Amino acid sequence: MTHGVSILALLVVFATSTLAQAQQQELTVSEVAPGIFVHQGQTALMTGENDGATANIGFIIGESAVAVIDTGGSVREGQRLLTAIRARTGKPIRYVIYTHGHPDHVFGGAAFASDGTEFVGHRNLPRALAARGAFYLDAFRRIMGAQSLDGVRMIPPTLLVDGTVELDLGARILTLKSWPAAHSDNDVTVLDERTKTLFAGDLLFIGHIPVLDGSIRGWLAVIDELGALSAQRVIPGHGPVSEWPGALADQRRYLETLAADVRKLVARGAPITVAADTAAASERPRWQLFDDYNARNATTAFSEIEWE
């Protein structure tokens, strides 16, 4: 009994000391435009070693408040982002905006859960988190290890974006837009009107092969519309901050190639497995993580295009 209590006490000491360490170490961010800070994620799969820090996440500071855009792939990454924010401003974090519901973007949410902070996302995001949340927690406990999943929970947005929503951070307007199914069925973009900086979420991949978890036809249609947004620079979901809208070109070529290859296979009656093995093979040298995602993209695209 006494033994149990002392172990418990030690566990508490252990837990608080790691927490404190995590809070001390601020996430590397760079100021890509006045008041806009971005951490560029590693182009890698989420692992225990990288704390799931594979997506680009960031924050925007207005006159009266701060908005966080995506929270990272673990609570630890979220806490380190919070430390980076607090090193720069004491203003309240009024909004946490999710560009969509994938683990590398939402797993850090718990670091920001407090009264005064509203979570914002696509109108489809609560449904997606409900359908996938438990599976993601199980799957990533396996992939990253139990410790990396400490404290991770799905926090559904309460402010839903259906069309366009403007958020005011104090003399700083953010325009949020929800998109039809493309990368996922819950993609949102954030445009800072003052600096014409666009957070595209995973509607844009640069260098990292695009990952299809929604609709390939929808995504190609959305790219055309996205390109019309009046931005000067873009923060993609993965890859370096880039010029707008030139940054869309590589991704468009990949998705068009994938769709065209799959369409040919469907027309000649090839089974879905052949698409996984061969579609978009010409794109291999042009992307990082090609072998991790291309077969999956082809499988997903095939199951959509065969209904054309």
Q: Should residue 156 be labelled a site residue for another protein when binding is judged by CB under 8 A? A: yes
State both tokens at 154.
């799905």
Report, in Å, the least distance between residue 65 CB and another protein.
Answer: 24
Q: Which stretch binds another protein (CB under 8 A): 19-27, 28-36, 151-159, 168-176?
A: 151-159
Which of 277, 160, 258, 158 lies closest to 205, judged by CA?
Answer: 258
- DSSP three-state, residue 122: strand
Interface residues for another protein in 1-20 (CB under 8 A)?
7, 10-11, 13-14, 17
CA distance 43 to 40: 9
Q: Should residue 273 be labelled a site residue for another protein when binding is judged by CB under 8 A? A: yes
Among 26, 50, 86, 126, binds another protein (CB under 8 A): 126
CA distances from residue 281 to 49, 72, 272 in whole angstroms, order as listed: 30, 31, 15
Report, in Å, the least distance between residue 256 CB and another protein.
Answer: 20
Tokens 């409900």 correspond to 130
* Backbone phi, psi, residue 235, to 5°: -105, 110
Interface residues for another protein in 44-83 (CB under 8 A)?
45-46
Q: Which stretch binds another protein (CB under 8 A): 180-188, 193-201, 219-227, 240-248?
A: 180-188
Nearer residue to another protein within complex by CB, 134 or 281: 134
CB 118 within 8 A of CB 158: yes
Q: Should residue 281 be labelled a site residue for another protein when binding is judged by CB under 8 A? A: no
Q: Should residue 135 be labelled a site residue for another protein when binding is judged by CB under 8 A? A: yes
Helix (H) or strand (E) holding 104: helix 103-106
Write each residue from 205 to 244 as x if it is in contact with another protein (CB under 8 A), else as -, in one continuous string: ------x-xxx--x--------------------------
Tell me which residues touch another protein (CB under 8 A). 7, 10-11, 13-14, 17, 45-46, 102-104, 124, 126-127, 129-136, 138-139, 142-143, 145-147, 153-156, 181, 184-185, 211, 213-215, 218, 269, 271-273, 276, 292-293, 295-296, 299-300, 303, 306-307
